[in-house]
Amino acid sequence: MSIRIGMLTSGGDCQGLNSAMRGVAKRLYEADPKTEILGFLDGFAGLMKNSYRVMGSKDFSGILTLGGTILGTSRQSFKTMETALYPDQPNSPTKLEAMVKNYHDLDLDALVVLGGNGSHKTANLLYENGLNVVTLPKTIDNDLWGTDITFGFQSAVNIATNVIDGIHSTATSHGRVFIVEVMGHKVGWMTLHAGIAGGADVILIPEIPYDPEVVAKVLLKRDKAGKRFSIIAVAEGARTIQEAKMSKSDYNEMIAESPYISVAYRLASMLNQYTDQEVRVTVPGHFQRGGTPSPYDRVLTTSLGVVAAEKVMRKKFGIMVGMVNNKIVGIPLKEVAGKLKEVPQDHELIHDARGIGIYFGNEQI
């Protein structure tokens, strides 16, 4: 009897979602051309509302290099899974109940979820409620526990690096300080990699709270050494030492009342208090999520998709398919869900960056 699966993409979009789905589908079709695939629209929302499209092999042709997701996506907070799907209707099922019911009503053999941190918490919840679930690690932040790398990360790093590369020429021409804000609200993997690859002079990440006065001293030191410009790569979630000591509520209140639209502009304002150097800000924003996946991500997603399909065929569920020590393996969802992979302060890349004169804003100058 042919396998019948549901597939969905959840959370923020990124490069490689389509190529990952393609890898899953092509492996299943290769094993059995009669495989049935239902693509749920807009992530878990589609599973909740029974909104899907019946897909065939042609749907997965020509999408290897296509950015975004052909199924659409949405963010569904894990905290709301036990709340009513339709709050204004009496006796409405919860979001969780609706997903479980639709899965069974559609007689699915498995559900394949492509998502990040929040999506994996929901996927694990579904597995704990009896659904056969296999997941693939998607996020440009590379912050999913259990896998060495997530797809979308390398493609986004490439874009952020290209931005920093492009800034160098105008920074050199005008002798300015440029702050490039890189995505990464909770972790600094993207900023660390793009900062090193792009030749940034200062890298500020959430894991290492910084002192703006120290950053200013670095700029002055470079200026005295005859350096015409400086490049600062800052993660969108980077905080000063004082901000890192604040409670979450106090910090959120401060951000809400701040006149600055992002951390990069706030940093620029602080630096203007310590130096008369001209400071400019560049925020590539969601541009980092878009466009075609890098060759690395195309290869990675193909391998992840193939192994995910084989896990389904072998009825190995409750796992995320990820990379560990350069091998594609299955990691139990219960070990992944709810865990964040931060940049360790003693990470070798931080050591190497400091070794070539890159600062992280917490040094003694």
pLDDT tens readout for residues 310-338: 999 999 999 999 999 999 999 999 999 98
Domain positions in the chain are: 4-151+293-324, 155-289+344-355
Specify the pLDDT at position 263: 95
Phi-psi region of 315 (alpha: psi -120 to 50; beta: other; left: phi over 0): left
- pLDDT score of 207 more than 80: yes
Q: Looking at residue 215, what is its pLDDT? A: 97
Contacts of 270 (CB under 8 A, 6+ apart): 212, 240
Active-site pick, 13, 59, 105, 141: 141
Which CATH architecture is the domain 4-151+293-324 placed in?
A: 3-Layer(aba) Sandwich (3.40)
The answer on pLDDT for 1 being more than 80 is no
Match domain 155-289+344-355 to its CATH number in 3.40.50.460, 3.40.950.10, 3.40.718.10, 3.40.50.970: 3.40.50.460
Judge whether 141 counts as a catalytic residue: yes
What's the average model confidence in pLDDT over 20-41?
98
Nearest Cα residue to 322 out of 335, 9, 350: 335
Strands of 202-204's sheet, edge to edge? 202-204, 230-235, 177-182, 279-282
pLDDT for 231 equals 97
Same fold, 4-151+293-324 and 155-289+344-355: yes
Q: Write down the pLDDT at residue 184.
A: 94
Residue 306: what pLDDT? 98
**The pTM is what?**
0.95
Is residue 24 scored above 90 in pLDDT? yes
Residue range 60-76: mean pLDDT, rounded: 96
Q: Does the pLDDT at position 174 exceed 90?
A: no
